Structure 1
């Protein structure tokens, strides 16, 4: 039994898993904004089974990001060397079972939007 299912835009990558670890938070750092095109929102998975090709890009000394090599969908984030993967909320099928709990790296957010949902905001991570 899985908590969630999901896929990339073209369907070449699909996944199932169970939630665990980090709750759903929106990251506003410059890397996540460039990676997602706006704000990256992801939650930690306890178990994750992936079918299809995933390409991993090492975006810093601390992290790497997984995406579909066919359509380019941003799907996963993990600390370098870790097996624990955070899954993009936008790639998860409804119902996700998720609820946004806050925002991180808001000191680095884009100047074109405001965060006005009343959730906690951390200047860094």
Structure 2
């Protein structure tokens, strides 16, 4: 059985999914755009019985009468798309510890898809902007939770949130 873990950027909310994630897709609807602060939101479904929060509790926003969206109340990371009466919860794929492990198989709500996406591969690629000194300084001051479970976070502190 596969297992996926993930959580928010600051580490206050963590989760685990046992089993396959279903219907990995990219949603282009306006609600997902706003919830992600981006042009689309990649999502996949986890059966409720295979999903568990392992640290903290998300905050919830009812984006419609049918759906609520879970996010970290501390750092704002979008985490979940949830239909309360459903037997599944959708996970924001970018919140997975290994987001590359789940490849989307479908797109939805393409009427709101950005008309210029087809041209992205033709854009120039920025030269390596970071110097080794700057990369080292960023790494040394990184406050982002690592892409794996930790027994406590931030290191040296205990949060039972």
Tell me the TM-score normalised to structure 2 length. Answer: 0.64
The 8 Å contact of residues 21 and 45 in structure 1, kept in 2 or not, is answered as yes
Q: Distance in 2 between matches of 1:2 and 1:84?
A: 17
Change (3 A) 1:19 1:60: farther
The 8 Å contact of residues 26 and 106 in structure 2, kept in 1 or not, is answered as yes
Alignment counterpart, residue 69 of structure 1, candidates 59, 66, 73? 73
The 8 Å contact of residues 40 and 88 in structure 1, kept in 2 or not, is answered as yes
RMSD between superposed Cα atoms in Å = 2.4
Larger radius of gyration: 2
> Within 5 A, what are the aligned runs for 1:63-102?
63-94=67-98, 97-102=101-106
The 8 Å contact of residues 2 and 20 in structure 2, kept in 1 or not, is answered as no
> Greater shift after overlay, 101-110 or 15-24?
15-24
The 8 Å contact of residues 12 and 72 in structure 2, kept in 1 or not, is answered as yes
In structure 1, list runs of 5 or more residues that go unmatched: 117-125
The 8 Å contact of residues 10 and 74 in structure 2, kept in 1 or not, is answered as yes
How many residues in Structure 1 have an aligned counterpart in Structure 2? Answer: 117
Question: SS in structure 2 opposite 1:32?
Answer: helix
1:122 equivalent in structure 2: none
1:60 equivalent in structure 2: 64
Change (3 A) 1:102 1:14: same
Structure with bigger strand share is 1
Render the CA deviation track for 1:17-57: whole Å, top value 9, x for unaligned.
12446311000000000111221101111211112021111
In structure 2, list runs of 5 or more residues that go unmatched: 121-161
1:18 equivalent in structure 2: 18
The 8 Å contact of residues 14 and 52 in structure 1, kept in 2 or not, is answered as yes
Structure with bigger helix share is 2
2:52 equivalent in structure 1: 49
Q: Distance in 2 between matches of 1:108 and 1:20?
A: 28
Matched, 1:28 2:28: yes
The 8 Å contact of residues 77 and 85 in structure 1, kept in 2 or not, is answered as yes
